[in-house]
């Protein structure tokens, strides 16, 4: 019998290494920036009107258990990103993958990690494309200064490097190169940045391809007073829906 949440196709495990081990089946009231110790505004934190609970599936993602057939996985919309896709500070119903699921009437699969680098987002989006080839993948990129260790023996969480040793211009070019590689893949991919993404792009959004959704302005704030909340999630999903047609 297969373990819950681990999907088998014949004798082979699909996406067998796509697991965040520290979060498997975890449940927390606070995490990272969304906590009394690290939030950006403690008064706002305690006045936030919604209950926030973090529940992670058997792969360690803030999602329900994934479907158990390849067809169901292909029919889902895959959402890949960092803490803005995790929905830090938001109730589960407010995170944009869930808003998208309700809007489209399709299952969404949330593949996101707090502090994820664009390298990790690229690797995982490419892997999903190669092993699943879903009808839709939405990539919400991270900050350009986030990179990852080249040591492939480390787990995804251990490889995170929150600040690179390169210049801002080099970091930006690195991200643009990753995005360009993904854009050459066949299939229906939608790309995004996050609010306040990069000072270089703030001054020159023409560096972005036309179909990239630039989440600006941020319409509201989650409990941590940094990540966005339901209004911005809905706005972002509306942009996605317009591009799907």
End-to-end Cα distance, the chain: 41
At 143-170, the pLDDT tens digits run 988 999 999 999 999 999 988 888 888 9
Q: What CA–CA distance (Å, rounded) separates 26 from 20?
A: 11
Q: What is the pLDDT of residue 206?
A: 67
Q: What is the pLDDT of residue 97?
A: 98
Q: What is the pLDDT of residue 9?
A: 40
pTM: 0.92
Give the up-direction half-sphere exposure of residue 129: CA atoms within 13 A in the CB hemisphere: 20
Q: Enumerate domains of the chain plus CATH numbers.
A: 68-244 (3.40.50.1110)
Q: What is the pLDDT of residue 136?
A: 95
Alpha carbon distances (Å) from 199 to 104, 141, 149, 171: 33, 15, 24, 12
Q: What is the pLDDT of residue 13?
A: 72
Q: What CA–CA distance (Å, rounded) separates 57 from 53?
A: 13
At 106-116, the pLDDT tens digits run 999 999 999 99
pLDDT along the chain (245 residues), means of 10: 38 82 97 97 98 98 95 97 98 98 96 96 96 95 91 93 86 90 89 76 70 88 97 96 87
């Amino acid at each position: 019998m297969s373990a819950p949440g681990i999907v088998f196709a014949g004798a082979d495990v699909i996406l067998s290494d796509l697991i965040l081990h520290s979060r498997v089946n975890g449940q927390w009231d606070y995490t990272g920036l969304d906590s009394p110790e690290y939030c950006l505004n403690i008064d706002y934190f305690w006045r936030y009107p919604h209950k926030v609970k973090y529940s992670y599936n058997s792969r360690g993602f803030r999602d329900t258990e994934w479907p158990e057939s390849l067809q169901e996985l292909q029919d889902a919309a895959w959402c890949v990103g960092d803490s803005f896709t995790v929905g830090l500070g938001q109730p589960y119903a407010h995170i944009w993958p869930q808003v998208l699921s309700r809007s489209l009437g399709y299952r969404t699969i949330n593949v996101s990690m707090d502090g994820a680098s664009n390298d990790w987002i690229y690797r995982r989006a490419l892997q999903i494309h190669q092993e699943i080839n879903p009808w839709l993948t939405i990539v919400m990129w991270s900050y350009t200064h986030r990179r990852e260790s080249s040591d492939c023996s480390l787990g995804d969480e251990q490889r995170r490097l929150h600040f690179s040793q390169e210049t801002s211009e080099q970091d930006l070019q690195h991200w643009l190169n990753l995005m360009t590689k993904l854009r050459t893949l066949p299939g229906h991919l939608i790309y995004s940045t996050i609010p306040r993404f990069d000072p270089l792009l703030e001054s020159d959004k023409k560096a972005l391809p036309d179909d990239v959704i630039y989440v600006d302005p941020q319409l509201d704030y989650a409990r941590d007073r940094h990540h966005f909340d339901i209004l911005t999630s809905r706005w972002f999903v509306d942009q996605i829906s317009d591009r799907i047609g």
